[in-house]
Amino acid sequence: MSLQHIEQPSVLGAGIGDNSYGHELVQRGSQAAARFLSRYGALLGFLALWQVSSTRGWVNPAVIPPLDAIVVALWTGVVGGALLDDIAISLQRSGTAFAAAVVVAIPLGLFMGQVRAVERAFDPILQVFRQTSALALYPIFILLLGLGEASKVFVIFWATLFPLLLNTIGGVKEVDPKLIEMARVYGATRLTVFRRVVLPGAVPSIFVGLRLSATTALLLLIASEMIGANKGVGFQVMNAQYNFQIPLMFAAIVLLAGLGLLSNYALVLLQRRLCRWSSATA
């Protein structure tokens, strides 16, 4: 005897009613519209308010220019090629730093999370480093590495390292010891336990770290480009402000927000691919 009739799987698609096809399409369309509005309505409202405030003169349009002026500035900057160099160098700086952080933090975090003595010995210093603002350390990095690329990349690297490292350590430590014991019962070696249980178990937490680090990388990018740079999206924000090209300044800010959204989206997609089992959320 078995229980198949009683035990049902908890998730399975619900049946769709027997409406006519056209009716169903309309219904689906309006449902989609409602979903879209409930999600993006506030954002659209904000943009509309901005546009109206600026064109009606409720705010000073010289400081808060209308959206169309910003779009034009963005368009001429990107399509005209004036901002392309800046985007390229910014991506290079933050990309190099981010990649270096990934290469250092993930293996180090996996190791530290596994070996309790190491983790215990290094946790206090990690906490101190993490709480020390990377921006406050930037002058020191400049003194050590000069005002060129090295100090810029390093300050971004420094700031992105810790969220990733700490999340990787946390992910490894939070792997259920009962699962590890289960694997041991089947005769798994330490390496097999690591490869088949610890690593996959830590992946969701590593992704939290990756997304935090990607955001931090862009944040620090701007700050570092505001000091001693003559190229880069962050530089353009400062430069446009000095020259009072306010639409261009906003165009650069929009560009940065776009880069942030894009990198986050890319990581979410990757996470969904790797962690289909945990139904990753954006």
Partner 1 sequence: MTSTDTTRRGEVSIRDLSKSFAINGRPLAVLKGLNLDIRSGECLVIVGASGSGKTTLLRVLAGLEAADGGRVLIDGAPVQGVGTDRAVIFQEPRLLPWLTVLGNVAFGLEVRGEQRARAEERARDYIGLVGLGEFADAYPKQLSGGMAQRVGIARALTVQPEILLLDEPLGALDAMTKITMQEELARIWSEENVTMIMVTHDLEEAVYLADRVLVLPKEKGAAARLIDIDLPRPRDRSEPRFVRYREELLREFGLH
Query: For 79-105, b where at least 16 C-beta lie within 10 A, e where not — what string?
Result: eeeebeebbebbbebbebbbebbbeeb
3-state secondary structure of 22: helix
Instruction: State how far the alpha carbon of 281 is from the alpha carbons of 189, 196, 217, in Å.
Output: 33, 24, 22
Q: Given candidates 3, 62, 128, 136, which one binds partner 1 under the rule CB under 8 A?
A: 3
The answer to whether 62 contacts partner 1 (rule: CB under 8 A) is no
The answer to whether 21 contacts partner 1 (rule: CB under 8 A) is no
DSSP 80: S
Q: Given candidates 91, 179, 254, 268, which one binds partner 1 under the rule CB under 8 A?
A: 179
3-state secondary structure of 45: helix
- Pattern of binders to partner 1 over 259-278, x per CB under 8 A? ----------------x-xx
Q: Could you say which residues in the range 137-176 bind partner 1, by CB under 8 A?
A: 176
Q: Could you say which residues in the range 95-134 bind partner 1, by CB under 8 A?
A: none
The answer to whether 230 contacts partner 1 (rule: CB under 8 A) is no
What does the block give as tokens for 119? 């983790």
Q: Output 9 or 15, the one with its CB closest to partner 1.
A: 9
**Could you give the CA distance from residue 63 to residue 52 in angstroms, rounded to a whole number?**
14
Give burial (CB, 10 Å; 0-12/13-18/19+) of 152.
buried
Q: Given candidates 126, 183, 226, 280, which one binds partner 1 under the rule CB under 8 A?
A: 183
**Could you give the CA distance from residue 201 to residue 176 in angstroms, rounded to a whole number?**
8
What does the block give as tokens for 153? 């990349």
The answer to whether 192 contacts partner 1 (rule: CB under 8 A) is yes
The answer to whether 6 contacts partner 1 (rule: CB under 8 A) is yes
The answer to whether 191 contacts partner 1 (rule: CB under 8 A) is no
The answer to whether 182 contacts partner 1 (rule: CB under 8 A) is yes
Q: How many amino acids of this chain bind partner 1 (CB under 8 A)? A: 31
The answer to whether 188 contacts partner 1 (rule: CB under 8 A) is yes
Stretch that binds partner 1, among 54-62, 105-113, 126-134, 182-190 (CB under 8 A): 182-190
Q: Output 57 or 187, the one with its CB closest to partner 1.
A: 187
CB of 167 to partner 1, least distance (A): 18
First to last CA, the chain: 43
Give burial (CB, 10 Å; 0-12/13-18/19+) of 176.
exposed
Residues that bind partner 1 (CB under 8 A): 1-4, 6-11, 176, 178-179, 181-188, 192, 196-197, 200-201, 203, 275, 277-279
